[in-house]
Amino acid sequence: MDGVERLDFNGNYTSLILGHAPAPVVKAIQEAAAAGASFPGPTEHEIRLAEALVRRVPSLETLRFTNSGTEATLNAVRAARAFTGRNKVAKFEGAYHGTHDSVLVSVAPDPSAAGSRRRPKPVPASSGIPREIVKHVIVLPWNDAEACEKIIAKEAAHLAAVLVDPLLGIGGILPPVAGFLERLRAVTAQHGIVLVFDEVISFRVAAGGAQERYGVRPDLTTLGKIIGGGLPVGAFGGRADIMSAYDPRTGGARISHGGTFNANPLTMAAGLATLAELGPAAYARLDLLGERLRAGVTTLFRKRKLAAQVSGVGSLFCLHWTGKRLVDYRSSRPSDPAAPLRVFMGLLNDGVLLSQRGLGACSLAMTEAEIDRFITALDGVLERAVA
């Protein structure tokens, strides 16, 4: 509308791993639509996409589809509660797992209201969340295994699940320190707590997601974004004994999983076509694009002597406007709170789209030229807005 063509590093919040309107995905959607947009039962595309995901992710013994990542994490939490008979859920400060009440807590809290770094207090991230719900949420500090183990052990008798975004995605793409995920796996297994990996964002870092990249097997996994090829999607699954609560063949399902548009064939076809394009060479290329971008941005920040840095894994990256060592949500908060929006608007006006927080993703539609264009645009913005 304003006559500016924009290079998209937002990618519909990291979901467009092939870029916009890739031909194989468009064709798959068109062919599926010609046969019917939705049905009240399973379709071939649903079965084939489930099979493709199970091949990629060994921890997915059983899988169910939803319409969003929010629905996926909601059902994973419900399954964990049904399996354990416990009510509380633990999540990490700075992590986003959707918009249902049990997880919309301590997503981006003001540290002054969130207690100590090593024992964060739960802070509702929205109005309309009952106080009784917040009392059932335990908040953990990212990358502090010792503190996490103490909190989990103390709450173990009441704790159904620990939800983990393996990259603390919305919190800034802050990778786990060596051994952190392994210790979470060990302590949850020790206390019979369901370990849930929320791979809605992190699934794009390897064929089998972050659990493949870091070699840790969760009990349940939630998926979304790239597995729908640009259409609304979610999925959750994992251990068959936990997921059996959804199976009516076991003598009556203890959990009902309705949803008129769950696993609609257009989404399933688009997701299947997307995964078909994501072989080893594709992931290697995405990694190289991400590495080139992060290296270029780091060089730029150093040249300008800015208290800023870039984090990321694979094709994911995030700009941080602080000189502190990036460890967790609190360390990633900008020294100048206005800097993220200034840079976002500057890039937007220069023809580059990012998220307002500075989170971005490379896609297979890009080449080194687009990466270099991003760095050049950022340099110009910094010249005007930050330097």
State the catalytic residues: 96, 198, 225
CB under 8 Å to 55, separation ≥6 — which residues? Answer: none
140-152 as b/e: b if 16+ CB within 10 A: bbbbbbebbbebb
Instruction: Yes or no: say if 189 and 159 are a contact pair by the CB < 8 Å rule.
Output: no
d(CA 252, CA 44): 26
Structure tokens at 23: 């031909």
Instruction: Yes or no: say if 271 and 233 are a contact pair by the CB < 8 Å rule.
Output: yes
Helix H or strand E encompassing 148 = helix 145-155
d(CA 333, CA 172): 9
Q: Identify which of 11, 4, 55, 98 has the alpha carbon closest to the alpha carbon of residue 362.
A: 11
The helix/strand/coil state of 24 is helix
Structure tokens at 151: 């909190």
Q: Identify which of 207, 187, 206, 185 has the alpha carbon closest to the alpha carbon of residue 197.
A: 185
